[in-house]
Amino acid sequence: MKPHLKPLVKQLLRSRKVGLPGAAPADSLHAPSRPYPNGWFCLAFASEVRRGSVTTRPLAGAEVVLYRTAGGVLRAVRPQCPHLGAHLGVGGSVEGEEIVCPFHRFAFDPSGACVRTGYDLPPPKASLTQYPVCEVNGSVYVWWHALGLPPQWQVPVIPMDERQPFSHDTFALAGHPQDVIENAFDWGHLPALHGLKGLDIEGAPVAGQPVSTVTATARGTVMRGFRQSYTLTVIGLASIAARTVLPRGAGSLHVMLHATATGPGRIELRFGTKLELTGVPGLPRRAGRATAMPVARLLSAVLQRVASVDTGADLLMWHHQEHVEQPKLARGDGPIGRYRQWARQFYTEPPGGVVAPRPPRTEVGRAEE
Ligand code: FES
Ligand SMILES: [Fe+2]
């Protein structure tokens, strides 16, 4: 990264709220006009939704309550209790396999049905509104569709050890998921913004497929100095999963970038790093295998901090970027035109549909976790 950007990025990563003097966030200057894309959106890393926990997350101008029962069943529901509308994320609790509303203690089973009230009398016929949810690649995804249609495709499974959690961070900022995912096809910015060297990259989105792949080799990112091969899996307009296979069968490095539409012109950006090791250099094979996971967890936290600097530079761009519908593309840009064609499949309304603008915001903030 160019040295003059580093202090800005570091300040942004250090603080929970960062003012960027002289430059306002994009959504306060340009009324956000693009609709939310359809698809799976990551609302949490899997380790954030523990058994017995109830968590509220924004999604597409509304809220979703995520909870996990004592038995491990994960559910995503509309927050409003069908009884008198209390918010299940505000004081709601998990009791065994049920989620219980704090207001009158109505309890709902994993099918969403009301099975009990706080009055020791038969419950009414009532159900929670549930959203399709899946847990893949260490991430919790919720399906969103403009017309409320059920899932049209599945999140691809990227081979990884699910027992090991991601080290992760979440930021709330101005932006649109399409511009974040465009990063995978905007090859010109890799040397220019991130300082990648010796870049060799190929891949293009395939029309009609919700998932596409880009492969690259380069020097200069997380493992500075080393030439790395990456496989990027682009999942809808929501995630870029980067996987690097380490030399000599030592393991893999996973970097996940999730963009989630939270409101008009606003996104939450989740990114995480997970190192998987098959052993520990210098230790006999058996001892190495036994200690590989704790060592990998520690290193993941360090690598996440290093990777954050690169992601932080993108974050600054997105927070202030105005979407250019007719970009002036140049040779060396990467397949941005093809990407934009491909991206159209995720919209029910054509891009440019109406989304009500919301009041201006002035800061990048680390989202509540
Ligand atoms: S509002 Fe939820 S139990 Fe009454
Ligand atoms: Fe980038």
Mean pLDDT, range 161-168, rounded to an integer: 93
The more confident residue out of 170 and 349 is: 170
| pLDDT at residue 19 tops 50 | no
| Amino acid 359: pLDDT | 45
Going from the Cα of 121 to the center of ligand 1, the distance in angstroms, rounded, reads 14
| pLDDT at residue 295 tops 70 | yes
Mean pLDDT, range 26-35, rounded to an integer: 85
Residues 251, 277 contacting (CB under 8 angstroms): yes
Intra-chain end-to-end CA distance of the chain, in Å:
28
Using 50, 70 and 90 to split pLDDT, how confident is the model at 18?
very low
Mean pLDDT, range 259-281, rounded to an integer: 93
| pLDDT at residue 115 tops 70 | yes
* Amino acid at the residue 259: A
Choice from 84, 88, 108, 117 to test ligand 1 binding pocket (greatest atom count within 8 A of CB): 84
118 alpha carbon, closest ligand:
1
Mean pLDDT, range 266-276, rounded to an integer: 95
Residues with CB under 5 A from ligand 2 (ion): 183, 314
**CA angle at 42 for the pair 238 and 34, rounded to the nearest 5°:** 45
Using 50, 70 and 90 to split pLDDT, how confident is the model at 221?
low
Q: What is the mean pLDDT of the chain?
A: 89
Residues 168, 239 contacting (CB under 8 angstroms): no
Q: Is 47 left (phi over 0), alpha (psi -120 to 50) or beta?
A: alpha
Determine the atom of ligand 1 nearest the C-alpha atom of 104: 3
Task: Please give the radius of gyration of the chain, using alpha carbons only, rounded to the nearest integer.
Answer: 22
Q: Which residues on adjacent β-strands are paired with residue 259?
A: 269
| Amino acid 353: pLDDT | 46
Determine the atom of ligand 1 nearest the C-alpha atom of 106: 3
Using 50, 70 and 90 to split pLDDT, how confident is the model at 59?
very high
| pLDDT at residue 352 tops 80 | no
| pLDDT at residue 15 tops 90 | no
Using 50, 70 and 90 to split pLDDT, how confident is the model at 226?
low
Domain ranges for the chain: 3-26+162-366, 82-128
Assigned token pair, 216:
């690259």
| pLDDT at residue 58 tops 50 | yes
How long, in residues, is the chain? Answer: 369
Q: What does residue 252 show for φ and ψ, rounded to 5 degrees?
A: -140, 155
| Amino acid 16: pLDDT | 52
| Amino acid 32: pLDDT | 81
Half-sphere exposure of 352 (CA within 13 A, CB side): 4
Give the Cα separation of 188 and 329 in Å (integer): 10
Residues lining ligand 1, Cβ inside 6 A = 81, 83-86, 101, 103-104, 106
What is the reported pTM? 0.90
Three-state SS across the chain?
A: CCHHHHHHHHHHHHCCEEECCCCCCHHHHCCCCCCCCCEEEEEEEHHHCCCCCEEEEEECCEEEEEEECCCCCEEEECCECCCCCCECCCCCEEECCEEECCCCCCEECCCCEEEECCCCCCCCCCECCEECEEEECCEEEEEECCCCCCCCCCCCCCCCCCCCCCEEEEEEEECCHHHHHHHHCCCCHHHHHHCCEEEEEECCCCCCCCEEEEEEEEECCCCCCCEEEEEEEEECCCEEEEEEECHHHCEEEEEEEEEEEEECCEEEEEEEEEEEECCCCCCCHHHHHHHHHHHHHHHHHHHHHHHHHHHHHHHHHHHHCCCCCCCCCCCCCCCHHHHHHHHHHHCCCCCCCCCCCCCCCCEEEECCC
Please tell me the residue having the least CA distance from ligand 1 atom 3: 104
Going from the Cα of 102 to the center of ligand 1, the distance in angstroms, rounded, reads 7
Say which residues have a Cβ less than 8 Å from residue 48's Cβ, sequence separation at least 6: 55, 140, 369
Mean pLDDT, range 111-131, rounded to an integer: 96
196 alpha carbon, closest ligand:
2
Which residue in 77, 193, 190, 175 sits closest to 126, CA to CA?
77
| pLDDT at residue 224 tops 50 | yes
3-26+162-366: CATH topology? Naphthalene 1,2-dioxygenase Alpha Subunit; Chain A, domain 1 (3.90.380)
Going from the Cα of 104 to the center of ligand 2, the distance in angstroms, rounded, reads 48
| pLDDT at residue 69 tops 90 | yes
Distance of CA 330 to the CA centre of its chain: 29
Q: Longest Cα pair distance anywhere in the chain, in angstroms?
A: 71
| Amino acid 354: pLDDT | 46
Using 50, 70 and 90 to split pLDDT, how confident is the model at 222?
low
334 alpha carbon, closest ligand:
2
| Amino acid 285: pLDDT | 77
Going from the Cα of 116 to the center of ligand 2, the distance in angstroms, rounded, reads 50
| Amino acid 220: pLDDT | 65
